[in-house]
Amino acid sequence: RFQPIIATIRKVIDMLKEAVEAHRNGAAPNDDLTLMCIRLEKRCMKREVTFKNEDQELTRVSEFMESVCDELQLDRHVAMKLQVAMEEVVSNVIFYAYPEDTSADITLTAESDGKELTFVLSDTGKPFDPTAKEDTDLEVNPMDREQGGLGIIIVKNIMNEVSYERLGDTNQLTMKKKL
Protein backbone atom coordinates (compact mmCIF):
# COMPACT_ATOMS: atom_id res chain seq x y z
CA ARG A 1 0.00 0.00 0.00
CA PHE A 2 2.81 2.45 0.78
CA GLN A 3 5.02 1.50 -2.18
CA PRO A 4 3.28 3.78 -4.73
CA ILE A 5 3.42 6.71 -2.28
CA ILE A 6 7.12 6.18 -1.55
CA ALA A 7 7.89 5.88 -5.28
CA THR A 8 6.04 9.14 -5.95
CA ILE A 9 7.87 10.92 -3.13
CA ARG A 10 11.22 9.72 -4.51
CA LYS A 11 10.27 10.99 -7.98
CA VAL A 12 9.37 14.40 -6.58
CA ILE A 13 12.66 14.64 -4.66
CA ASP A 14 14.63 13.50 -7.73
CA MET A 15 12.91 16.13 -9.86
CA LEU A 16 13.71 18.82 -7.28
CA LYS A 17 17.38 17.76 -7.19
CA GLU A 18 17.53 17.91 -11.01
CA ALA A 19 15.96 21.38 -10.97
CA VAL A 20 18.53 22.63 -8.44
CA GLU A 21 21.37 21.14 -10.53
CA ALA A 22 20.00 22.78 -13.67
CA HIS A 23 19.75 26.11 -11.86
CA ARG A 24 23.36 25.87 -10.65
CA ASN A 25 24.36 25.31 -14.29
CA GLY A 26 27.56 23.46 -13.38
CA ALA A 27 28.58 25.81 -10.55
CA ALA A 28 29.79 24.21 -7.33
CA PRO A 29 27.23 24.18 -4.52
CA ASN A 30 27.84 26.88 -1.93
CA ASP A 31 25.84 25.13 0.81
CA ASP A 32 24.31 21.79 1.63
CA LEU A 33 20.93 20.78 0.24
CA THR A 34 18.03 19.54 2.35
CA LEU A 35 14.78 18.49 0.72
CA MET A 36 11.53 17.52 2.34
CA CYS A 37 8.44 16.21 0.59
CA ILE A 38 5.12 16.45 2.38
CA ARG A 39 1.98 14.88 1.01
CA LEU A 40 -1.28 16.46 2.12
CA GLU A 41 -4.41 14.41 1.91
CA LYS A 42 -7.96 15.59 2.09
CA ARG A 43 -9.27 14.82 5.50
CA CYS A 44 -12.22 12.73 6.42
CA MET A 45 -14.90 14.52 8.37
CA LYS A 46 -18.48 14.42 9.54
CA ARG A 47 -20.42 17.49 10.63
CA GLU A 48 -24.05 18.21 11.29
CA VAL A 49 -26.22 21.25 11.84
CA THR A 50 -29.84 21.36 13.00
CA PHE A 51 -31.92 24.46 12.35
CA LYS A 52 -35.53 25.64 12.34
CA ASN A 53 -37.72 26.03 9.27
CA GLU A 54 -37.30 29.82 9.29
CA ASP A 55 -35.81 31.87 6.46
CA GLN A 56 -33.24 33.57 8.74
CA GLU A 57 -31.74 30.10 9.34
CA LEU A 58 -30.34 30.17 5.78
CA THR A 59 -27.47 32.23 7.25
CA ARG A 60 -26.59 29.37 9.61
CA VAL A 61 -26.71 26.91 6.72
CA SER A 62 -24.42 29.17 4.70
CA GLU A 63 -21.95 29.39 7.63
CA PHE A 64 -22.10 25.61 8.04
CA MET A 65 -21.35 25.10 4.35
CA GLU A 66 -18.47 27.56 4.49
CA SER A 67 -16.94 25.74 7.47
CA VAL A 68 -17.29 22.34 5.75
CA CYS A 69 -15.67 23.61 2.55
CA ASP A 70 -12.87 25.32 4.52
CA GLU A 71 -12.20 22.20 6.59
CA LEU A 72 -11.91 20.10 3.43
CA GLN A 73 -9.85 22.83 1.73
CA LEU A 74 -12.12 22.78 -1.30
CA ASP A 75 -11.48 24.93 -4.32
CA ARG A 76 -13.39 28.21 -4.04
CA HIS A 77 -15.29 27.54 -7.28
CA VAL A 78 -16.47 24.13 -6.03
CA ALA A 79 -17.36 25.60 -2.63
CA MET A 80 -19.51 28.29 -4.26
CA LYS A 81 -21.39 25.69 -6.32
CA LEU A 82 -22.01 23.56 -3.24
CA GLN A 83 -23.26 26.64 -1.39
CA VAL A 84 -25.77 27.31 -4.22
CA ALA A 85 -26.99 23.70 -4.19
CA MET A 86 -27.52 23.67 -0.42
CA GLU A 87 -29.25 27.04 -0.41
CA GLU A 88 -31.62 25.76 -3.08
CA VAL A 89 -32.65 22.54 -1.34
CA VAL A 90 -32.75 23.99 2.17
CA SER A 91 -34.82 27.02 1.16
CA ASN A 92 -37.33 24.71 -0.55
CA VAL A 93 -37.74 22.71 2.66
CA ILE A 94 -37.99 25.86 4.79
CA PHE A 95 -40.59 27.52 2.57
CA TYR A 96 -42.64 24.58 1.28
CA ALA A 97 -42.37 21.46 3.47
CA TYR A 98 -44.45 22.63 6.42
CA PRO A 99 -47.82 24.31 6.94
CA GLU A 100 -47.60 28.01 7.79
CA ASP A 101 -46.85 28.76 11.47
CA THR A 102 -45.45 25.27 12.06
CA SER A 103 -42.04 25.10 13.74
CA ALA A 104 -39.84 22.13 12.94
CA ASP A 105 -36.22 21.02 13.03
CA ILE A 106 -34.29 20.32 9.84
CA THR A 107 -30.91 18.58 9.85
CA LEU A 108 -28.09 18.85 7.33
CA THR A 109 -25.24 16.37 7.61
CA ALA A 110 -21.97 16.61 5.69
CA GLU A 111 -19.61 13.62 5.57
CA SER A 112 -16.45 13.08 3.56
CA ASP A 113 -14.14 10.12 3.14
CA GLY A 114 -11.61 12.31 1.33
CA LYS A 115 -12.82 11.19 -2.10
CA GLU A 116 -16.50 12.06 -1.94
CA LEU A 117 -18.56 14.58 0.01
CA THR A 118 -22.07 13.46 0.99
CA PHE A 119 -24.81 15.75 2.23
CA VAL A 120 -28.03 14.43 3.76
CA LEU A 121 -30.89 16.86 4.29
CA SER A 122 -33.52 15.46 6.69
CA ASP A 123 -36.90 16.98 7.51
CA THR A 124 -40.28 15.81 8.78
CA GLY A 125 -42.30 17.93 6.38
CA LYS A 126 -44.84 16.62 3.92
CA PRO A 127 -43.46 13.82 1.71
CA PHE A 128 -41.86 15.27 -1.39
CA ASP A 129 -39.38 13.68 -3.79
CA PRO A 130 -37.76 16.45 -5.86
CA THR A 131 -35.96 13.86 -7.98
CA ALA A 132 -39.25 12.31 -9.15
CA LYS A 133 -40.39 15.45 -10.96
CA GLU A 134 -39.61 15.36 -14.66
CA ASP A 135 -36.85 17.82 -15.49
CA THR A 136 -38.12 21.17 -16.67
CA ASP A 137 -37.70 21.72 -20.41
CA LEU A 138 -35.27 24.61 -20.58
CA GLU A 139 -36.06 25.14 -24.26
CA VAL A 140 -39.61 26.25 -23.45
CA ASN A 141 -40.17 29.99 -23.13
CA PRO A 142 -40.02 30.85 -19.39
CA MET A 143 -43.40 32.62 -19.67
CA ASP A 144 -44.99 29.38 -20.94
CA ARG A 145 -43.25 27.11 -18.44
CA GLU A 146 -44.81 25.75 -15.25
CA GLN A 147 -43.31 27.30 -12.12
CA GLY A 148 -40.74 25.24 -10.20
CA GLY A 149 -38.28 22.54 -11.13
CA LEU A 150 -35.30 24.71 -12.01
CA GLY A 151 -33.70 24.37 -8.58
CA ILE A 152 -33.41 20.58 -8.73
CA ILE A 153 -31.84 20.89 -12.19
CA ILE A 154 -29.20 23.17 -10.68
CA VAL A 155 -28.60 20.73 -7.82
CA LYS A 156 -28.36 17.74 -10.20
CA ASN A 157 -25.83 19.63 -12.33
CA ILE A 158 -23.68 20.54 -9.34
CA MET A 159 -23.79 17.16 -7.61
CA ASN A 160 -22.70 13.82 -9.02
CA GLU A 161 -25.62 11.98 -7.45
CA VAL A 162 -28.94 13.06 -5.93
CA SER A 163 -31.43 10.64 -4.37
CA TYR A 164 -34.52 10.81 -2.19
CA GLU A 165 -35.91 8.44 0.40
CA ARG A 166 -38.88 8.63 2.76
CA LEU A 167 -37.93 6.91 6.01
CA GLY A 168 -40.93 6.72 8.32
CA ASP A 169 -42.04 10.33 8.69
CA THR A 170 -38.74 11.79 7.45
CA ASN A 171 -37.69 13.05 4.02
CA GLN A 172 -34.04 12.37 3.28
CA LEU A 173 -32.40 14.01 0.31
CA THR A 174 -28.89 12.66 -0.25
CA MET A 175 -26.49 14.57 -2.47
CA LYS A 176 -23.00 13.36 -3.35
CA LYS A 177 -20.08 15.25 -4.87
CA LYS A 178 -16.81 13.61 -5.94
CA LEU A 179 -13.81 15.54 -4.70
pLDDT score, position 133: 74
pLDDT score, position 16: 85
The model carries a pTM of 0.73
pLDDT score, position 1: 46
d(CA 2, CA 4): 6
pLDDT score, position 138: 59
Query: For 110, phi and psi rounded to 5 degrees?
Result: -125, 130
User: Is the separation of the CB atoms in 67 and 140 below 8 Å?
Assistant: no
pLDDT score, position 100: 92
pLDDT beneath 50, residues of the chain: 1-2
User: In terms of Cα–Cα distance, which of 93, 99, 120 is closest to 176?
Assistant: 120
